[in-house]
Structure 1
Amino acid sequence: MEWLTSLRLFIEEYNASFTREQIYDQRLSQLEREALDRKLKSMDDRGAVIVNAKVKVKILESRSDDVERDVTYLILRSYLIKQNNKFYVEESMERRKAILHDNVIRQDEGLNREGDMKADIVNLDRDPDIAPMPRYRYNRLEAVKYAERWWNSHNTAYRLFDNDCTNFISQCLHAGGAPMRGHPNRSKGWWYSGSTWSYSWAVANALRWYLSGSKQGLRGEEVGSPEQLMLGDVICYDFDGDGRWQHNTMVVAKDDYGMPLVNAHTYNSRMRYWEYTDSTAYTPKIKYKFFRIVDG
């Protein structure tokens, strides 16, 4: 099929773009070209290079008329990165859509949007008046193991959200032993129960404020810089710098300079550099919060 050959060649060219100094392919959106340029600059700044790149593609849907074809596909990228004498593998999985005219690709765009647009609609009771909870010790290893197991798939014990980043991080925290509390009031505590859940479980802005306000159960202690974080800790992102927190990730490893590498959902990512300058949601006004998860 000629259109499939065109798509394969495009993906090969896209993959090869990481060896160039600047991304010029006009079939990608301006936002994606800028994000790829920032990724290359970030890697150069920290002495990292891609030494091997692999991609796998699965066609999800193909619709066409006499001239135009729309193809939705899933792409899994895997990059072996060398930084000084250390090697690690960064991976991502995303849904994309290609538009072809006469079997020639005219446009290709990602369908996974980073940034929770519901960030400004949630109000929380900062510390709900409930009975004291038993003490617990946060198991960082189990939280990270969960983040590694499910970074590119869905645990059917939980609902899959269109914007799944905070739901995924909450699952990781719970796998680490963080206890739920506050049910059934959605504006209280942090919990998931079958067909319903607290705002703090699934909304990025709500989890950020819950971590800084909770006095028992799941609690976060803000630290001043990313290198102070440990495996199993959480980073919150305000891409626009306007006080609406839109994304959350979990630290699963450190690079050769002790900086966090993170896993996340929505644009499913594994071992991604913490700054997210390679995101299309990134702006120069971005703000971060770094939370050390503490024992309850």
Structure 2
Amino acid sequence: MRFHRTLLPLLLWLLLPLNAFADPAFYRISKGNEQHWLLGSIHAGKPSLYPLPDPVERAWQQSRALVMEVDMTHISQAQWQEMGAITRLVDGKTLKDHLPMDLYRRTLIAAGQNGLTEAMLAPLRPWFAAITLTQAALERTGYRGEFGVDQHFAKRANDGGKPIVGLETLLEQLGYLASVGDNQTLMLESTLDELPELEKGFTEVMAAWQNGDQATLINLLKEEMAPPKLQAWLEQTLLAERNRNWVKKWPGLPNESFIVVGALHLYGEQGLLALLEQQGWRITPLTEPAAAD
């Protein structure tokens, strides 16, 4: 399978129906007397995604804590206010003032097609407008963040009184996204280019995840999914830098943690699996990956 040359599925995966033939990749991570379980997640889904495979459910029952990219269940009012300063324009201007007119017109057309208004996008920085459009378009295909694997387990942890640990704060995660900086107009333009193919592209991403298709996911990392400047930012900042920071926190995690992160964080030379092996952790697959084509 070859993915569309698209930025969108990767952004959603980072943020951002199981079949009967194979399971998503799921691992036991152990060293000495410590062990954890690591599940590569999709951050959007449908109700038909559940229940998850038996090995995942058994590990969840045995685990003592949930570890996520960000603990969204304990966000203070002050943090929400700071989020506004990161995602919204603060120079007294609107999105229209920050974009070429032709790009702004395209943005409004896409907004209307996906249930958004000009007023909703007006205060947003271009990079956050791109993410807002992507999320709105994805929801129109039936995939919703509330049915993502991470949110599924966050709700179960809350309901069952299981502690939740974040590998980074909400503001740290938004800071990584905001670091696209001068390339945010390019990010919005690339997003608009690929919105018509979003459903097909995300369906392909979902199929690879459902099948535990590691080879296809690694190929996705190797493909050029965005203009070169954005590609470098995706690989170096959104993936590699965050992975290295997360691995530094591994020794302080509660023993027998159930860890859920975006699936693309697992693979490649700078992926979590490789970095953890370098630190002496043993990686044991607990689900059966898809057979090679």
The answer to whether the superposition gives a TM-score over 0.5 is no
TM-score by length of 2: 0.23
Bigger strand fraction: 1
Bigger-Rg structure (1/2): 1
Bigger helix fraction: 2
